[in-house]
Structure 1
Amino acid sequence: MNMLESKVIQTRFEKEIFIEEKSTININGFRSLDKNTPFYEFMIGLDLIRIRDNEYYGTKKSYVSIRISEDLQSLFILEPDVQSIFAIKNKQEKEAAIELIQYVLVDSQTFKQVVLEMISNLKKENVVNGFEVKEAKAKLAVLERLLNVREEDVKFTIRMENIA
């Protein structure tokens, strides 16, 4: 039997279940350094199964925004404007979401496989001009950094007040 790793966020209304598979994790929206933003930024999307009143209630994709310092040493977790994993959650529920994000970034071998596949695909891309080469190198450095994230590297900068 093939057992899958899963994590559950229990909210007042439902259970949000993250099943650890490559198809449930995506990384997109990469932004490089420029004169206005001294950091790298991207989004991590996680597919969550929703269970309400012990019945399947559908799925949703929730996002978290990640900023990495210019020196690639610190990762800052921010709440995105749309489809945030922190939306409509009280303090305890947000703490469970933080625990899930920490797990994905630090311990998840599946997340590391997704990153390795992205690195492999990036190395195969045909870049033709100086700007594309610079972007590809920056993205490659950020992705390689994601393979070695430690708990002490991650800083959460989300609002923890009760909004639900």
Structure 2
Amino acid sequence: MDAPNRALVTEAAAELLRTLQGRHGALMFHQSGGCCDGSSPMCYPDGDFVVGDRDVLLGVLDVGDGVPVWISGPQFEAWKHTQLVIDVVPGRGGGFSLEAPEGMRFLSRGRAFTDDENRALEQAAPVTGADYERGVRPPSHGTRVVSEGDAEFDAVCPLPQG
């Protein structure tokens, strides 16, 4: 089994990313560790957030020219068994994140990897900020954009019924 993607994006979030790329150019995410804006994916112009040596690249979303998704090393250790899905919902985004003026906010949803997926991931060492600086890139096998009605979306992104 090939290692699964550690990061996915919903079609709604991909659409907002395309709009933001048109305004700001290349983008990046850093999964916040819970400080000022809680634990949310923060969207920045690429390079505006300094990636640390121990940060981990979860993947590059296939949106526009690609959107890298980073997470801190310690937070990765807690979340390494979880597939991260970046979604968007109405509301006020984090003060530092580019979507804040749009009346939308990015949020993270997740799904625990299966035992088989975890075994496959153990064979694929994550790329750290230090690795990336040395030119190491993760294997590219395409990031899946998921949308409502897809089995993956329904399993990962259950929305409250009300």
**Would you call these one fold, judging by a TM-score over 0.5?**
no
Task: Pick the structure with more helix per residue.
Answer: 1
| Pairwise TM-score range, normalised by the shorter structure | under 0.3
With a CA cutoff of 8 Å and minimum separation of 6, indicate the structure with the bigger relative contact order: 2
For the pair shown, which has the larger CA radius of gyration, 1 or 2? 1
TM-score by length of 2: 0.25
TM-score by length of 1: 0.25
